[in-house]
Amino acid sequence: MGRDRRLPPEPPLTTTAERSIVTLERVWEARPGVLGWLTTVDHKRIGLLYFWTTLVFFALGGTEALLMRTQLATADEHVISPGGFNELLTMHGVTMIFFFIIPMTTGAFGNYLIPLMIGARDMAFPRLNALSYWLFLGSGLFMYSSVLVHQAPNAGWFDYVPLALKRYDGGLNVDFYALGLILNGVASTVGSINIVTTIFKLRAPGMSWNRMPLFCFAMLAAALSLIFALPALTMDCVFLELQRKAGFDFFSPPGGDPLLWQHLFWIFGHPEVYIIVLPAFGIATSIIPTFARRRMLAFPLVAMAELLVAFIGFGVWAHHMFATGISTTTLAFFAAASTAVVVPSTIQVFAWLFTVNLGTPLFRTPLLFIGGFIVFFVLGGLTGIMFAAIPFDQAATDTYFVVAHFHFIIFGAAVFPLFGGIYYWFPKVTGRLYDEGLGKMSFFVVFAGTLLTFFPMHVVGLLGMTRRVYTYDAGLGWDAYNLLETIGGFILAAGILLILANLIVSWRRNMPAGRDPFNGGTLEWTIPSPPPHYNFAVVPTVTSAYPNWDAADRAHDIEKLHHGESVLADGHQTPTSTVNDAVAGPIAEMPAESPWPIVVGIAVTAAFFMLLTTHVLVASAFVAIALLAVLGWHAEERPQGFTTERLARPNGWWGMALFVAAEATLFGTLIGSYVYLRFRNVQWPAPEIAKPEVLVPVLLTLLLVVSSVPMQLAWRAGGAGRVKAAWRFVAGAFVLQLGYLAWQVHDWVDAIHAAPPSRSTYSSIVTTMLGFGHAHVLLGLLIDAWLLVQLARRFTPYRLVGLQAAAFYWWAVSAISVAVLLTQESAHL
Amino acid sequence: MTNSLRRALSLVCAGALVVLAAGCGGNQNTVAPASPQEHSISDLFWVMLGGATIGFALVVALLWLGYARRARPGLPRAVGERGATRLVVGLGIALPAALLIALFVWSDVFVITSTAAPSRSSTSLSVNVIGHDWWWEVRYPGTPVVTANEIHIPVRTRVYLSASTADVIHSFWIPELNRKIDMIPGRTGHIVLDADRPGVFRGQCSEFCGLQHAHMAVSVVAESQRSFRRWLAANAAPARSGNAAAFLASGCGDCHQIRGTAARGDVGPDLTHLELRRTLAALTLANTPANLDRWIRHPQAVKPGSRMPDVRLADARWAAIDAYLRSLR
């Protein structure tokens, strides 16, 4: 791979092939200029937008870190005020987690690479992809606008109550935090639904589960975890804002409980750290086979381990609460789960190590970063195991020992693969080679900086230095370590700047990389660098997990191109396939550039600014604008050519199913919070509050369940072509549902007047739970109304998917309403 | 070369950790135990560190092996694909599972019994500590004793410590004596303090509680039974008589209680026996006349954000207040 490396010659094209490529280029041509970027739905452009934006947040988070380290370099410093320091420590955590690492791994790497690795031309929902980016950008601007008004979040990245309640933190700081995270969570959920549906449905025919790249397994695990973990954080922030702005009472004794915040936070927070590290595993398992020059050892074990880590990770959350005084039996359960979650990680570590040892590894820069990753992951993992020993945790939690632990994991184990991945895929994205010498140098500086910054924290933590302190006394023996850490921090920053410098230098040097500079095994190495807009000229033939190492299949692809087969150039087309065995399914029509995602993104962000300042009516107006924009979105008709042969559930159904999964988890959180609060209280509800009615709620819920039947029948009728009948069924369901909602809301408002939420925890949780239920029925009514309008105009296969998704939605809402009803009526027990 | 360097670095660091943590630093050192409870935590740590070092060395060795033998495919002794998969299962599943189960049983079934909340009947003295922003209220139930930021206990006596809070979540932690216990509104936590030798043990609030979380330290003084009883009796008495006029006229009694006078405030610490304490402002300043004057004149300069406001008074008034406070032995 030296300077005078010759690129292998591209095979000559026949006229059929040339014609296909010209058509593809014409069909997929991007809109020019800034407008093209603002309206893009191309996963590669969106990936790049995420990449640059998250780099800016990385720089901000890094600056915050260096400012803190400067303040802590010596004892009793006066560089930063206590209030300023608290904002720095909060924003550092929030920025790095929510605005850097998650969007970088899922939004930048995930979006750019997943379609390329599975042989698709885009993600399953390109416009939704763009929306996830604009919402993410909006959440970042929202959160950082707090700095402009000197009210940045300041209660720590986990924002414990009561410190975060209005009484102790009266400004807008915490409101920025809570609302910003809700918006950020919506962006992440939208992105995750896209990732899961893409991996399920858009794999090239023949790419069954056992042939899917390990990177995609990792992204799948991360995306599924995000969908199921975010609702807990969202609900926590909703409770917090309701308490801060409307006087609800979730967290204050005697009715409420501060630990409710902690439980919900960590039910999100622990899976979050696996979400952070899983894509890093994915990058490592992409780089290792390429540079070890052999397949990954124990591929099925590694794939399952990636999924298992995410799954078990949902059961360990209270290990963040070992010092709170909850019962020893409860603690032991969580400690057991925390030790269990180690095993899928040790499987992976040894699989990686033995793959390298069984091959003939080339220690180029990407593999060096993976080597560093393994060292730091094991180091951080070992201290993590120490924390599963409850008595030790109870001594070392909230000290610099735990700061060391999680920085070795987050920085060492999540960011090192990112750096390795940036080097590894730089040639693919830019078409140019990176400078190997500068690359190796950047690795050593970053490695040394990481070690020097974070290792002394173990010692100073054991010597008693607690977290989140803006200064410390001399004479406690902490001074030298802190100084070392600060020096290390600056060395680390220098190393990161070296990486950036390398990328710039390499860009300018412009050494052509060709399709496949490293002989990687996965599909992205079969296409030109940078990839053409349409990614693949033909649907690739896949018969193994390392398609680029199957010469026969690649030759077959060239033959297909020469005969004009599987080109799919009649529109923006990509093949879909079944979930398990990737049997070829219908061709999906993809949208081209669209203005609606950015419009919705701006409107929703504006709504959040209005909620921040409690202008609820204006916020509702912006939500209405967003909904109108969504209507415009759905009105974008896609050209025909959609085959009606139904082999498997369409993409739209999967999107709705995953959305329902997220919403169901939201309600699970509400119901779980109800049960938790119920058992924290002896009297429930308080004696002056009336117990809930039985007859009317039961009958109304029955009515709602019944209304799902005409929705189901509408879908059946539509599928049989009886459009008028379908319309009538939807109309009938609409009337039932509208009646249900009107009556329920009336009773709900009455209940709020009779028992104001500000006066009892019971009323706070019940009002919120029912309110969310009613909001989901309202959303369903809007969906129904839209269907009624569209069914009256034109019936297309797209509308049929809409009917299917809507029917599914109403069954889900019915089931959720039954669960809510049972929870509500449990007050009689 | 690079991997050997890496390996050497990590071994040096592990060694440094052992040497540096065991010996030096102030009296807030988790691995310099002064109680049976902290001994068991410390022992647990050293064993885990030993195991961790071995595991880490194994991983680094495998990495080094990969680098050193990079030109030859395969592991030494012609371990092939099958053998390597068996090693993955053995080293990745079987061995960790065995070690982890052993660790779990030892730490979370056995060691935890010494650090878990004690039963009151197994102790012979009770202390209540209430966390405030940013100081510690200390009470001895069954006596009138109320003080702040300094806890005295007799050596080799199991003390039942109850931890609660008056405002936000704090966490009480004396590293050389026991684990930390969070102070959560609506709950009371319990740990045992059992110093096995006399000394002054320092601790700090271990849950982020706002602006001056960094200046919320506490000390536990373990002394002989006789010294302790003397101290307790001295603190139980009402305040020595003195001229409290300036103190009361300046409104100080609205926040601070001095037992036996008209000062009844409960916002700030009880000052009845202020001069029996070694420090001021939760160990931020040593308790000297100069520091006392500085603390009450310019609290916002000493501890910005503390609940004691900067008040402007005539110098003579300050002098009178100083003199009175210094008399509160």
> Is residue B323 less than 8 Å (CB to CB) from chain A?
no
pLDDT digits (tens, 9 = 90+) for A319-331: 999 999 999 999 9
- CB atoms B305 and A82 under 8 Å: yes
- Model pLDDT, residue A357: 94
Q: Which of A89, A341, A347, A353 to mutate to test the interface with B (most CBs of B within 10 A)?
A: A353
Q: Which residues of A touch B73 (CB under 8 A)?
A: 294, 358-360
Helix axes A479-509, A436-462, angle to 10 degrees: 160
Q: Which residues of B touch A336 (CB under 8 A)?
A: 104, 108
Q: Which of B162, B169, B212 to mutate to test the interface with A (most CBs of A within 10 A)?
A: B169
Which alpha helices (DSSP H) does A119-257 contain, by range?
A: 126-148, 173-201, 214-246
* pLDDT at B1 exceeding the cut of 50: no
Place of tokens 């759905």: A634
Contacts made by residues A578-585, CB under 8 angstroms, sequence distance 24+: A578/A647, A578/A648, A579/A200, A579/A201, A579/A648, A580/A208, A580/A209, A581/A208, A582/A203, A582/A204, A582/A205, A582/A206, A582/A207, A582/A208, A582/A211, A582/A542, A583/A205, A583/A647, A583/A648, A584/A205, A585/A201, A585/A647, A585/A648
The residues facing A512 across adjacent strands are A432
> Is residue B166 less than 8 Å (CB to CB) from chain A?
no
Q: Contact B188/B219 with Cβ under 8 angstroms? A: no
- Model pLDDT, residue A12: 80
pLDDT digits (tens, 9 = 90+) for A116-131: 999 999 999 999 999 9
- CB atoms B73 and A323 under 8 Å: no
pLDDT interval class at A642 (50, 70, 90): very low
pLDDT digits (tens, 9 = 90+) for A219-271: 999 999 999 999 999 999 999 999 999 999 999 999 999 999 999 999 999 99
* pLDDT at A1 exceeding the cut of 50: no
Query: Of the candidates A331, A357, A451, which has its C-beta nearest B65's C-beta?
Result: A357
pTM for the model: 0.95
Q: How far is CA A765 from CA A642, A678, A758, in A?
A: 47, 10, 11
What percent of chain A lies above the pLDDT cut of 70? 98
Q: Which candidate, B175, B52, B53, places its Cα nearest to that of A386?
A: B52
The region of weakest confidence among A197-206, A751-760, A788-797, B312-321 is A788-797
- CB atoms A350 and B87 under 8 Å: yes
Helix%, strand%, coil% for chain B, nearest 5: 45, 20, 35
pLDDT digits (tens, 9 = 90+) for A592-617: 999 999 999 999 999 999 999 999 99
* pLDDT at A827 exceeding the cut of 90: yes
> Is residue A543 less than 8 Å (CB to CB) from chain B?
no
* pLDDT at B23 exceeding the cut of 60: no
Q: Which of B184, B212, B218 to mutate to test the interface with A (most CBs of A within 10 A)?
A: B184
* pLDDT at B7 exceeding the cut of 70: no
Please give, rounded to a whole number of angstroms, the shortest distance from the CA of B185 to a CA of chain A.
7
pLDDT interval class at A2 (50, 70, 90): very low
- Model pLDDT, residue A795: 83
- CB atoms A82 and B69 under 8 Å: no
Q: Which of B180, B202, B220 to mutate to test the interface with A (most CBs of A within 10 A)?
A: B180
The residue type of A455 is F
Question: Which residues, numbered 337 to 356 in chain A, qualify as contacts with chain B under a Cβ-Cβ cut-off of 8 Å?
Answer: 339-340, 342-343, 346-351, 353-354, 356
Question: Which residues, numbered 41 to 60 in chain B, qualify as contacts with chain A under a Cβ-Cβ cut-off of 8 Å?
Answer: 41, 44-45, 48-49, 52, 55-56, 59-60
pLDDT interval class at B22 (50, 70, 90): very low
* pLDDT at A725 exceeding the cut of 70: yes
- The chain A residue lying nearest B37, using CA atoms, is A391
Which 3 state secondary structure label does DSSP give B185? coil
Q: How far is CA A523 from CA A287, A531, A537, A539, in A?
A: 14, 12, 12, 11
Please give, rounded to a whole number of angstroms, the shortest distance from the CA of B260 to a CA of chain A.
33
> Is residue B325 less than 8 Å (CB to CB) from chain A?
no
> Is residue B8 less than 8 Å (CB to CB) from chain A?
no
Q: Which residues of B touch A331 (CB under 8 A)?
A: 108, 112
- Model pLDDT, residue A648: 67
The average pLDDT across B274-289 equals 95
CA A165 to chain centre: 28
pLDDT interval class at A352 (50, 70, 90): very high
The residues facing B161 across adjacent strands are B127, B191
Specify the DSSP element, H or E, that contains B324: helix B315-326
- CB atoms A324 and B184 under 8 Å: yes
Q: Which of B190, B207, B280 to mutate to test the interface with A (most CBs of A within 10 A)?
A: B207
What average pLDDT does the structure give for chain B?
92
pLDDT digits (tens, 9 = 90+) for B248-270: 999 999 999 999 999 999 999 99
Q: Across A139-153, B5-19, B76-90, which has the greatest mean pLDDT?
A: A139-153
What average pLDDT does the structure give for chain A?
94
Please give, rounded to a whole number of angstroms, the shortest distance from the CA of A588 to a CA of chain B.
40
Q: Contact A385/A342 with Cβ under 8 angstroms? A: yes
> Is residue B141 less than 8 Å (CB to CB) from chain A?
no
Q: Contact A769/A692 with Cβ under 8 angstroms? A: no
> Is residue B97 less than 8 Å (CB to CB) from chain A?
yes
Q: Which residues of A touch B189 (CB under 8 A)?
A: 324-325
Question: Which residues, numbered 228 to 247 in chain B, qualify as contacts with chain A under a Cβ-Cβ cut-off of 8 Å?
Answer: none
- Model pLDDT, residue A829: 86
Q: Which candidate, A176, A12, A27, places its Cα nearest to that of A87?
A: A176
The average pLDDT across A89-111 equals 98
Q: Which of B24, B82, B112 to mutate to test the interface with A (most CBs of A within 10 A)?
A: B112
What is the value of ipTM here, to two decimals? 0.94
- Model pLDDT, residue A187: 98
The region of weakest confidence among A165-174, A785-794, B155-164 is A785-794
DSSP-derived pairing of the beta strands B125-132 and A573-577: unpaired
> Is residue A330 less than 8 Å (CB to CB) from chain B?
no
The average pLDDT across A300-307 equals 93
Q: Which candidate, A352, A391, A261, A268, places its Cα nearest to that of A677?
A: A261
The average pLDDT across A549-557 equals 94
- The chain B residue lying nearest A300, using CA atoms, is B85
pLDDT interval class at A670 (50, 70, 90): very high
* pLDDT at A459 exceeding the cut of 70: yes
* Residue A324 DSSP code: S
Query: Of the candidates A335, A343, A468, which has its C-beta nearest B208's C-beta?
Result: A468
The region of weakest confidence among A399-413, A657-671, A793-807, B285-299 is A793-807
- Model pLDDT, residue B13: 57
* Residue B222 DSSP code: E
Question: Which residues, numbered 56 to 95 in chain A, qualify as contacts with chain B under a Cβ-Cβ cut-off of 8 Å?
Answer: 81-83, 86
pLDDT digits (tens, 9 = 90+) for B50-72: 999 999 999 999 999 999 988 88
- CB atoms A82 and B211 under 8 Å: yes
CA end-to-end span of chain B: 67
Phi, psi torsion values for A159, nearest 5 degrees: 50, 50
Question: Which residues, numbered 702 to 761 in chain A, qualify as contacts with chain B under a Cβ-Cβ cut-off of 8 Å?
Answer: none
Q: Which residues of A touch B26 (CB under 8 A)?
A: 463-464, 473, 475-478
* pLDDT at A700 exceeding the cut of 70: yes
> Is residue A11 less than 8 Å (CB to CB) from chain B?
no
Q: Which residues of B touch A371 (CB under 8 A)?
A: 3, 6, 63
Phi, psi torsion values for A771, nearest 5 degrees: -60, -45
pLDDT interval class at A404 (50, 70, 90): very high
> Is residue A371 less than 8 Å (CB to CB) from chain B?
yes
- CB atoms A349 and B55 under 8 Å: no
pLDDT digits (tens, 9 = 90+) for A425-449: 999 999 999 999 999 999 999 999 9
* pLDDT at A640 exceeding the cut of 80: no
Q: Which residues of A touch B70 (CB under 8 A)?
A: 360-363
- Model pLDDT, residue B4: 58
- Model pLDDT, residue B74: 83
pLDDT interval class at A641 (50, 70, 90): very low
- CB atoms A162 and B168 under 8 Å: yes
Place of tokens 């902290």: B38
* pLDDT at B298 exceeding the cut of 50: yes
> Is residue B110 less than 8 Å (CB to CB) from chain A?
no
Question: Which residues, numbered 241 to 280 in chain A, qualify as contacts with chain B under a Cβ-Cβ cut-off of 8 Å?
Answer: 252-254, 257-259
Q: Contact A85/A71 with Cβ under 8 angstroms? A: yes
pLDDT interval class at B98 (50, 70, 90): very high
The average pLDDT across A664-674 equals 97
Which 3 state secondary structure label does DSSP give A168? coil
- Model pLDDT, residue A9: 79
pLDDT interval class at A688 (50, 70, 90): confident
